[in-house]
Structure 1
Amino acid sequence: MYLGIDLGTSGVKAMLIDADQTVIGSASSQQVATTRPHPGWSEQDPAEWIRATEEAIAGLSTAHPAALAAVRGIGLSGHMHGATLIDADDKVLRPCIMWNDTRSHREAASLDADPRFRAITGNIVFPGFTAPKLAWVKANEPDIFAKVRWVLLPKDYLRLWLTGEHLSEMSDSAGTSWLDTGARAWSAELLAATGLEERQMPGLVEGTEPAGTLRSDLSARWGLGEGIVVAGGAGDNAASACGMGTVREGTAFVSFGTSGVLFAANASYLPNPASAVHAFCHALPNTWHQMGVILSATDALNWHSRVTGASAADLTTELGEALKEPSSVTFLPYLSGERTPHNDAAIRGAFLGLGHESGRAVLTQAVLEGVSFAIRDSLEALKSAGTRLSRVTAIGGGSRSRYWLKSIATALNLPVDLPADGDFGAAFGAARLGLIAATGANPTDILTAPATAETIEPEAALTAAYEDAYQRYRRLYPAIRAAY
């Protein structure tokens, strides 16, 4: 058996698979709290990640004790970019500054103005990345900065607890703004630019490689054997790609989670920072990927749900399944700023074109279309970076809405494939990486794509109207940017 542990923004999911990659069972923790002490801030207590992991493992132990006892490898996945600061005694110095924290936008702009960062990392320095967060800590919390012995990404803090090792892997580390992404190594030059040294970074392995063994006390507590291999693992998006088999040139998925991602696998390193596309290492050796990221996908619908007092499911059901002509109301989903293509932490969302006739259903339609158009922005950015896609696969909570899927397919003017029933997300991808690390299996033999259950085609009768609405959407960002 093989165990995947996915540290998500809201909690931990643990999944067991067997040697044939059949899912035996999964369990999730209660929610991990995020605190927002100031506008633009987002923090979590790493102790909560351990608590949540223990809960998820306990759930598996209750439901599948024999399968859990047979585990031989563990893979890790987690939300990216978080700054988890550790002292010389491996104690946490402050709450983790999360991926969606934008307090360091000035520091990010300053680092991005240094041409070395884009040249070496292949990426814009976004406010959500790790390096500007450390620059912020250095400027605003110098006593804490002086005590930093290790800077760990969130899933790698879990690894420290699981194994005692200070290690990371390429896909997650590429989101720090300190990795030489082409060379797959830390850049001492970029670390020095933020007042750090390479000795303060974890060692690097590939996501498919072993990266420690499970501590004996945890093995005993969970009823496992000795010498359980923990794989390098992956950042959450690369782990989802491993779960979906999106590891070969030209394959792609669109993910509707809290944030939205358009992810394309590449056989070579194709940086183009000006497009605001992320060019990161994949979890497999000698493989990279490009990724457009929007900060509010299902988060935008959940915000609308809170404001209206109706559940997200009720809101989307109210629209029916037949795709409508685009709403006269346009929604800009910049509730937490935006990454691709704007790299703008200050911008905020908006409804435009409201009238007396703009009821709840109209606003819901506008929210779904706004997220669809934001994903289209990412598609255009990938095109400018040299990637051409012929279709995408949809995953994540938002993919349960058929209306939204039709909107996405028509906005992108691409077929959208739905995988056959099954959970092929980050926890499954992490378990696959645990299998590879423990057995030495060929990654491409393991990381295959699921069968396609259905394909959502673009609505040909509405593609022109959607194109017009997208162009209107594109004109609105510069129009409202002056207000911020």
Structure 2
Amino acid sequence: MYLGIDLGTSEVKAVVIGADGALLALAGSALNVSRPHPRWSEQAPADWWQAACDTVAKLRAQLGDELFRDVRAVGLSGQMHGAVLLDRDEQVLRPAILWSDSRAAPECAELSRRAPRLHAIAGNLAMPGFTAPKLMWVARHEPELFARIATVLLPKDWLRLRMTGRKVSDPSDAAGTLWLDVEGRNWSDELLAASGMRRDQMPSLVDGSAPSGVLLPEVARAWGLDEDVIVAGGAGDGAASAVGIGAVNPGDGFLSLGTSGVLFVVNDRFRPNPASAIHAFCHTLPQRWHQMSVMLSAASCLRWFCRLCSVDEKSLLAEIEQLDDEQRANAPLFLPYLSGERTPHNDPYASGVFHGLSPEHQRAALGYAVLEGVAFGMVDGLDALRAAGTGVSQLSLVGGGARSPYWAQLLADALEVKIVTHVGSEAGGALGAARLAWLADGGSEAEVCRKPAPQALHEPDARRREVLRTRLQRYRDVYERFPPLHGEDG
């Protein structure tokens, strides 16, 4: 059996799969995000560790001690770009700055000036969510703390340090730092120096499907596992979800509806196109890369709206499904930019908007606008991928949003592509992490990385095409015509 742990933003999720790849158990533990100032997003790494231990305990309780002890390897998946800063004694110096934090927007311009070859080497624009600008912000605003930094780890790799005592990352996660030579799959001294960092402050790198260490004896005992359990290199959450859905060959793709929204397509070579705010990263498997469009708020928009209206997601979705065509066509428009936006705008100051409200609008109409706004954000991402030379006609849907057939159909209608959900789609990165553990234990890629059984196929509904196209254009006009209330000077 194999254990996969996914360190997300809103929860730590974990699964156990059997030797045949079947999903045997799934559990999760919630996390909170601290926002001490506008545009800041932070978490305490100690909370990640507690949530990981709690989630493993839930899996152990589900399966029983004897069966759980059959776990042979562990894989890791995690939210990308977060900066965990450690001193010489491997103590955390400050709360981790997360991918959704946009305080380092001024440092992005500075990094681009210092590193003229940034786009060619890293394959990406300098965006405040990436790791390098965060460290430049720390150097500017917390210089005494910056001087004490001995190591910078990404979130899942800090979990690995607690599990194995080793400082290791993988190319897919490291590609999101702006310190990696993405084509060469190794750290770039040129980019490190441009942000005031050194190679000795970086973890070593292994492919996600390779062993990175074994569990420390005290962790193995606490979790009820043997001491020779392998820990795989793992992956950033996008690449891990790709492995979980079987998107491992050039042309394979998927759409992820998690806290953020991701469109991911596998490439056989490094294909950067930073002008469209498309990410070009390493895949976690050897000699593969991928292009990715990212919107910063996706399923998190629905969670936000439900909290705002004191309604659970299931009830709200049931209300939305009762809307008729006219009510949907006349619903408000929603811009889902609650944390700024990456693809295609690269605008950390973009803000969320409800536009076109009137007295007859009820909660369900606003809820529909939220689902539709996220779908339109995905359309913008798909258009950017197509402009970068990547075409798709069918996408698998993964992440928590995959639980809603209504949302899946809306995505198919808006994107005008077939959307497929799979058995276990909601497991996302945790399933991919478990598969990487299996590969690290000697499994073959052909056997391990099979596409899960399809659950449902959602074909685009041609009857909705013109209405959605008209609303999409109005949605784009709203962004162009109404600047955010707060920008660089706000």
TM-score category of the 2 structures, normalised to the smaller one? over 0.9
Question: SS state of the match for residue 90, structure 1?
Answer: coil
Residue 101 of structure 1 is matched in structure 2 by: 101
Cα distance in 1, alignment partners of residues 213 and 93 from structure 2: 24
Task: Please name the residue that 2:471 is paired with.
Answer: 469
- Quote the offset at 1:112 in angstroms: 3.3
Matched, 1:478 2:477: no
Q: What is residue 231 of structure 1 aligned with on the other side?
A: 232
Aligned position for 2:187: 186
**Contact 2:10–2:259 under 8 Å retained in 1:** no
1:42-441 equivalences under 5 Å are 42-64=41-63, 65-113=65-113, 114-320=115-321, 324=325, 326-420=329-423, 424-439=427-442, 441=443
Following the alignment from structure 1 to structure 2, what is the Cα–Cα distance between the partners of residues 277 and 78? 20
Offset at residue 328 of structure 1 (A): 4.8
Q: Which runs of 5+ in 2 are unaligned?
A: none
2:14 corresponds to which residue?
Answer: 14
CA shift digits 1:389-408 (9 cap, x unpaired): 01111122222223222211
Q: Is the 8 A contact 1:208 1:443 kept in 2?
A: no
Q: Percent identity?
A: 49
Aligned partners of 1:224, 1:302: CA distance in 2, in Å? 35
Shift in CA distance, 434/321, structure 1 to aligned 2, threshold 3 Å: farther
Distance 1:340 1:323 in 2: 31
Question: 2:3 maps to which residue?
Answer: 3
| Residue 140 to residue 300, structure 1, CA distance change in 2 (3 Å) | same
**In structure 2, distance between residues paired with 1:80 and 1:147:** 23
**Contact 2:15/2:427 (8 A) holds in 1:** no
TM-score (normalised: structure 2): 0.95
Task: Go from structure 1 to structure 2 and tell me whether the alpha carbon gap of 1:80 and 1:18 turns closer, same or farther (over 3 Å shift).
Answer: same
Pick closer, same or farther for the CA change 1:469–1:12 going to 2, 3 Å.
same
CA distance in 1, matches of 2:356, 2:28: 41
User: What is the rounded CA distance, in whole Å, between the counterparts of 1:347 and 1:400 in structure 2?
Assistant: 28
Letter in 1 for 2:127: F
CA distance in 1, matches of 2:479, 2:83: 30
SS of residue in 2 equivalent to 1:174: helix
- The structure-2 alpha-carbon separation of the partners of 1:4 and 1:87, relative to structure 1 and needing over 3 Å to count, comes to same
Mark the CA change 1:323 to 1:267 in structure 2 (over 3 Å): closer, same or farther.
Answer: farther
CA distance in structure 2 between the aligned counterparts of 1:118 and 1:25, rounded to whole angstroms: 42
Which string of whole-angstrom CA distances, capped at 9 and with x for unpartnered residues, describes residues 344-370 of structure 1? Answer: 111111112222322222212211111
How far does residue 326 in structure 1 lie from its aligned partner after superposition? 3.2
Q: SS where residue 481 of structure 1 aligns?
A: coil
- Partners of 1:187 and 1:390 lie apart in 2 by 36
Please give the residue correspondences for 1:23-42 in structure 2 after superposition, counting only pairs within 5 Å.
Answer: 23-29=23-29, 31-42=30-41
Code of the aligned partner of 1:202? P
C-alpha separation in 2, matches of 1:468 and 1:4: 43
Structure 1 residue 127 displacement after superposition: 0.7
Distance 1:410 1:323, change over 3 A: farther
In the aligned structure 2, how far is the partner of 1:420 from the partner of 1:307?
Answer: 31
CA separation of 1:406 and 1:326: change in aligned 2, threshold 3 A: farther
Gaps of 5+ in 1: none
| Amino acid of the structure 2 residue aligned with 1:463 | R
Query: Which region of structure 1 is more displaced relative to structure 2, 248-257 or 427-436?
Result: 248-257
**CA displacement at 1:476 relative to structure 2:** 2.0
| Contact 2:244/2:429 (<8 A) preserved | yes
Contact 2:398 2:425 in 1 (8 A): no
Shift of 1:43: 0.9
Q: For 1:265 and 1:385, locate their aligned partners in 2 and report how far apart those are by CA, in whole Å.
A: 13
Question: How many positions carry a matched residue from both structures?
Answer: 482
- Structure 2 residue identity aligned to 1:334: Y
| Preserved CA contact (<8 Å) 1:240 1:427 | yes
Sort the Cα spacing of 1:257 and 1:323 in 2 relative to 1 into closer, same or farther, 3 A: farther
After superposition, the C-alpha distances for 1:111-147 in whole angstroms (9 at most, x for unaligned) are: 2344321111000111111000000000000111101
Residue 421 of structure 1, CA deviation: 5.2
- Secondary structure of the structure 2 residue equivalent to 1:448: coil
State the Cα distance separating 1:168 from its structure 2 match. 0.3
The answer to whether the 8 Å contact 2:323/2:365 transfers is: no
**CA drift at 1:422:** 6.2
Task: Map Cα deviations across residues 367-415 of structure 1 (whole Å, 9 max, x no partner).
Answer: 1111110000000010011100011111222222232222111110011
Shifted more, 38-47 versus 466-475: the winner is 466-475
**Residue type of the partner of 2:320?**
L
Distance 1:422 1:479, change over 3 A: closer
What is the CA distance between 1:32 and its match in structure 2? 2.3
Give the direction of change, closer, same or farther, for the CA distance of 1:108–1:319 in structure 2 (3 Å limit): same
CA positional deviation for 1:202: 0.4
Task: Tell me how large the CA RMSD over aligned residues is.
Answer: 1.6
- Worse-matched range after superposition: 145-154 or 455-464: 455-464
- Cα separation, 2, equivalents of 1:391 and 1:194: 40
TM (normalized to structure 1)?
0.96
Give 2:9's aligned amino acid: T
For residue 28 of structure 1, what is the amino acid of its counterpart? G
